[in-house]
Amino acid sequence: MSLTEPTAERVPALPTVDLPTVDYGRGVYVYDSSGKQYIDGSGGPAVFCLGHGNAEVNAAIVAQIDRIAHGYRYTFASDALDGLQAIVAEFCGGGLTRMQFCTGGSEAVESCLKVALQYHAAAGEMSRRRIISRERSWHGNTLGALSVSGFKARRDPYEGALIEGSRLSPVNAYRPPPNVPPENVAAYCAGELEREIERLGPETVAAFIFEPVVGAAGGAVPAPDGYARRIREICDRYGVLMIADEVMCGSGRCGTWRALEHDGVVPDIMSIAKGLSGGYLPLGAAVYQDSIYQRIMAAHGHIASGHTYTGHTTCCAAGLAVQTIIKRDRLVERVAAESPYLFARLGEAIGDMDCVGDIRGRGFFVGVELVADRATKEPFDPALQIFARVRDRGLENGLICYPTGGNVDGVRGDQVILSPPYVASRAEIDEIVDKFALTLGQVVDAL
């Protein structure tokens, strides 16, 4: 891989390389057109929760599409849509019974934002237009979702056209805000939200959106204990809706179906996607409280964020098949039970490597932060593109992982996410960890 000349403002991005051509997948393995085998250590971008080539899911898709591909949501109900709504509501609990299905995570977040705004409009609170979010967050590529994201590399081309909002400090005990001890991060960052609401005026704030476990922008960063509860209390106090973006960390990935279950908190609105249909077909959803639905329906008679492919019948059939398997085979419980083994193996294999600053996450959602100096937590020079080197070397070693750059301040920082399919065996976890350790060693040795 060729390196460009470093500059102070160089934004990390995966360089253009000749990628292998995918051929097929079976279980946790993917094969390219040359016959080379790769173990999917990250489930792609934390999406392939059942692995690849699941015959039961494929059969459900074929059965549906043989009858009809899509019954337009505003003309027909469908068994696939109704069944998926029922199982998602059962998994969610806490009054999260209403939902609108779309075709991916960015659309799901966009729908969540629009539901929040319409809720306040239905209450006659048209001044509540402001959305508060956090730095080092990623909510999606539509303009609304991008506007509330704190991911410099992905925002920069669109600056000047994005919706104005407030972004607070990242909530990261490994890299706390300046002069804040790690044990005080939860209290400080929750207090920061309250101060921002008061600065703006509560009557102007519609919602606060956050990832319970930050994904691509931070590297599987869970908030410290107590943070989510404090956020819930603050949002309730000021009439601000809490939106949990669980596109990446939800649908069982963290060992509970809702990632916020770990924190004992229920949001008002929640986005889900990736693990919802396991990558078999595009699918996402905005899920929200029945009380929100009732207020909007009483005032407006409809949720004003639907589109042509809302509740796409075959996509819902794929999601229903995936979630039925997850429920029947108790795969969320399996993730929770096997997570300690994954973390223990990583600790044994890479915990003493000088380049490993932090290993964090929940369930089968693990982030490894790479540093040039463990003692000072100094990141690598971004011009080195360490995260891209790990991606490329991993592919050479037959390992798929999910690295991104800029996780410290938007420019500096390298992290890698490992998020195996929920069905990965211990032998397969061992293979993922061993190949990842080999890859890290090779990348660092080559510097």
Structure tokens at 6: 């470093």
Give the Cα separation of 148 and 258 in Å (integer): 21
Number of neighbouring beta carbons within 10 Å of residue 9: 9
Considering only CA atoms, which of 303, 273, 309 is closest in space to residue 290? 303
Q: What is the pLDDT of residues 148-198, one digit of tens each?
A: 999 999 999 999 999 999 999 999 999 999 999 999 999 999 999 999 999
Structural domains present in the chain:
22-53+330-446 (3.90.1150.10), 56-328 (3.40.640.10)
Residue 369 and residue 174 in contact, taking contact as beta carbons nearer than 8 Å? yes
> Collapsing DSSP states into helix, strand and coil, what is residue 299?
helix
Phi/psi of residue 373, nearest 5 degrees: -145, 115
State whether the Cα torsion 51-55-60-64 is positive or negative: positive
* H or E, element range at 245: strand 241-245
> Collapsing DSSP states into helix, strand and coil, what is residue 377?
coil
State whether the Cα torsion 426-396-45-318 is positive or negative: negative
Give the Cα separation of 102 and 285 in Å (integer): 6
State whether the Cα torsion 135-136-140-141 is positive or negative: positive
pLDDT on residue 18: 84
Number of neighbouring beta carbons within 10 Å of residue 44: 17
Tens-digit pLDDT profile for the chain (447 aa)?
333 333 445 556 665 568 999 999 999 999 999 999 999 999 999 999 999 999 999 999 999 999 999 999 899 999 999 999 999 999 999 999 999 999 999 999 999 999 999 999 999 999 999 999 999 999 999 999 999 999 999 999 999 999 999 999 999 999 999 999 999 999 999 999 999 999 999 999 999 999 999 999 999 999 999 999 999 999 999 999 999 999 999 999 999 999 999 999 999 999 999 999 999 999 999 999 999 999 999 999 999 998 999 999 999 999 999 999 999 999 999 999 999 999 999 999 999 999 999 999 999 999 999 999 999 999 999 999 999 999 999 999 999 999 999 999 999 999 999 999 999 999 999 999 999 999 999 999 998
pLDDT on residue 39: 98
Q: What is the mean pLDDT of the chain?
A: 95
* H or E, element range at 187: helix 185-200
Q: Supply the DSSP symbol for 390.
A: H
What single letter denotes the amino acid at residue 144?
Answer: G
pLDDT on residue 8: 41
pTM: 0.95
pLDDT on residue 123: 97
From residue 209, give the alpha-carbon distance in Å to each of 109, 123, 139, 231. Answer: 9, 20, 9, 10
Task: Round the CA-based radius of gyration of the chain to a whole number and report it.
Answer: 21
Give the Cα separation of 272 and 211 in Å (integer): 11
pLDDT on residue 1: 30
Percent of the chain at pLDDT above 70?
A: 96
Give the Cα separation of 248 and 221 in Å (integer): 12
